[in-house]
Amino acid sequence: MHEGGFFYQAFVYMSAAVVSVPLAKKLGLGSVLGYLIAGIVIGPYVIGLIGEEGQDVMHFAEFGVVMMLFLVGLELQPSLLWKLRAPILGLGGMQVTITAGIIMAIALLATPLAWQTALAIGLTLALSSTAIVLQTLNEKGQMKSEGGQNAFSVLLFQDIAVIPILAIFPLLAITDGAASGHHDHALWIDHFPIAIKTAIVLGVVAAIIFCGKYLIGPAFRLIAQTRLRELFTAAALLLIIGIALLMTQVGLSPALGTFLAGVVLAQSEYRHELETDIEPFKGLLLGLFFIAVGASIDFSLIAANPGLIALLVAGLILIKFVVLAIVGRVFGMGMDSNFLFTFSLAQGGEFAFVLFSFALQNGVITADVANPLIAAVAISMALTPLLMIINEKLIQPRFGTKEKDSRKQDDIDEQQPLIIAGFGRFGSTIGRFMQANNVQATYLDIDPNNVDLLRKMGLKVFYGDASRHDLLEAAGAHEAQLLIVAVDDSEKCHEIVETAKKHFPNLPVLTRTIGWNDSYEMMEMGVEGFYREYLDSALRMGADALGKMGFRSYQVQRSLKLFRRRDEQMVRELAELRHEQSALIRGSKQRIQDMERLMQDDLNRMVKDKDMGWDATSIKADFGTLLKPIIDKEHREE
């Protein structure tokens, strides 16, 4: 259509993204809505910079969804996925079943459609947009919230549900002649009987799990030894493309296959490298996908039937909103989480384009019925970011999180013996204490606003993600004496520690932890210097409370030291039971009782002996600590 061909199309798409996305983010609309608006503007129904070839771009851009689910899988440990089995099957199954049933019933009552067509419409419209929802939740920092996790569980169930939906559509055919278009190309397993087909499909899934667990790791290890970054990137892309191709050829969802591979590789030593290498490709392809969705909205059809399209869009969003709200309440979600859950999923999904096309090919639905529904799905997807902004700004103004500005990491022009990652409330206290003792440090922080503020106050803080080994290397991790991890995000703490342990094994690490579970994980990673962030302040407050209630100072200090010593011992003892829930509960209960008995015995002994002084054991231990370097030196001289 255009003389420039491929380069013209690439120029138009990139220009639209570069112009629209920053404007949308500046207005607080988010990048997804920016991409959608860009697609609408450059599409064939507005200014026409791209034509019908936009549909071909859609097929290419859908690979971004495949990459996104691979990265989502990398973030999920198999144990976490197992914990999510209840919301995946419960929330997801109930939402799809109820939504499909309601839409089918409305279609049968309000139109003369056959039940087969009504069922196909109900199943298709019951699905939501994995790409838009996950991108928006990640962008707003809400993916790890209860509502975000439940939304992800439903989306995962929907992606899995696409497989049986595709399988039953040919059985719903009500017209002849369309079925010949069943596949754009023949599958490898088409000529096999159904029993053998099933065995092949299960075998492919098992092969992906086996290779991910036992073969891919050694293969990436050999590739990593070449020290060619581009070769590792090529291997990562080859892995995803190969799995997607294999799943497509056996009739399964490529997104599901790559998600499964990601989950299997979640415990791989190369997880962070895979994420780093694939993330840029995923971002570009997802942006292209959103632009293609915007360009696919048929405004001529909307102009010809504005009332019908508006009714379809409003009806779809309303039905899904009500169903999701009820399902969320049934599963005990709080109001804030339930609002996020319902607002994020109340739209059609990208699989609707695939399913409606498949239904047309198999004679389940006619074009005059499918076209308005496709337009309604595209509009509902475009409205999703707006719905989530309404929820964030109007419905629960104190619930949303602020988006972080993207910014290139700083160039580090100094190397100090100490590196402190995270210079917020926790890390800045450590930093000021070290500076007061004339110990210089290199400070790293990922919050650009915090970095700018601290620099205005005269502190030299560098912006960057300390979980990247190149940033730690630039900060002098090879020569540093100590790394202190003080960030307030436990997952980011784990990433930084994992990177440091892998790339700088001789660098000692002290890290902040949230509670016992965090401490257990740090112990498994080989970190001995972990500090629960609330332990010292909680004990200090408890000690002050005892003092105000009449306890003598020596008695309070003795109890505090005894409690702390025993509590730290408990954490290390219970670490061996962390994977056995019942044993962990029994062990915790027993040790709490032992702690209370020990504290009471110590108190009774003090009362009996009428000990009016300080704890001699503690004084001896303190003097021993002070004298140890002198004693060691004398031993060495001898």
For the stretch 312-325, pLDDT in tens is: 999 999 999 999 99
What pLDDT does residue 540 have? 78
pLDDT at 177 (0 to 100): 42
pLDDT score recorded for residue 407? 56
CATH 1.20.1530.20 placement within the chain: 56-395
Secondary structure tally for the chain: helices H, strands E: 29, 6
Q: How do residues 540-561 score in pLDDT, each as one tens digit?
A: 788 888 788 777 787 778 777 7
Low-confidence ranges of the chain (pLDDT < 50): 1-3, 177-184, 399-406, 610-612, 614-619, 622
Q: What is the pLDDT of residue 183?
A: 43
CB 484 within 8 A of CB 490: no
In 192-334, alpha helices (H): 194-214, 216-224, 229-249, 254-264, 271-295, 299-304, 306-330
Question: Per the structure block, which two tokens stand in for 306?
Answer: 């504005």
Helices 254-264 and 194-214 cross at an angle (nearest 10°) of 30
pTM of the model: 0.52
Is the backbone of residue 251 left (phi > 0), alpha (psi -120 to 50) or beta? left
Q: Where in the chain is the domain with CATH 3.40.50.720?
A: 407-533
Pairing of strands 529-532, 461-463: unpaired
Work out the burial of residue 299: count CB atoms within 10 Å of its CB; fewer than 13 is exposed, 13-18 middle, 19 or more buried: middle
Reading the block at residue 503, the tokens are 């790339």
CB-CB contact of 51 with 1 (8 Å):
yes
H-helix segments, 113-193: 115-125, 130-139, 146-168
Query: Phi first, then psi: what are they for 485, rounded to 5°?
Result: -100, 110
Q: Which CATH superfamily is domain 407-533 in?
A: NAD(P)-binding Rossmann-like Domain (3.40.50.720)
Residue 476: predicted pLDDT: 87
d(CA 63, CA 253): 11
Residue 152, C-beta contacts closer than 8 angstroms, at least 6 positions apart:
72, 84, 134, 137, 143
| Buried-exposed string 425-438: b where 16+ CB fall within 10 A, e elsewhere | ebbbebbeebeeee
Q: Which residues pair with 419 in a beta bridge?
A: 442, 483
**Residue bearing tokens 């278009």:** 181
Cα radius of gyration rounded to whole Å, the chain:
30
CATH number, span 56-395: 1.20.1530.20
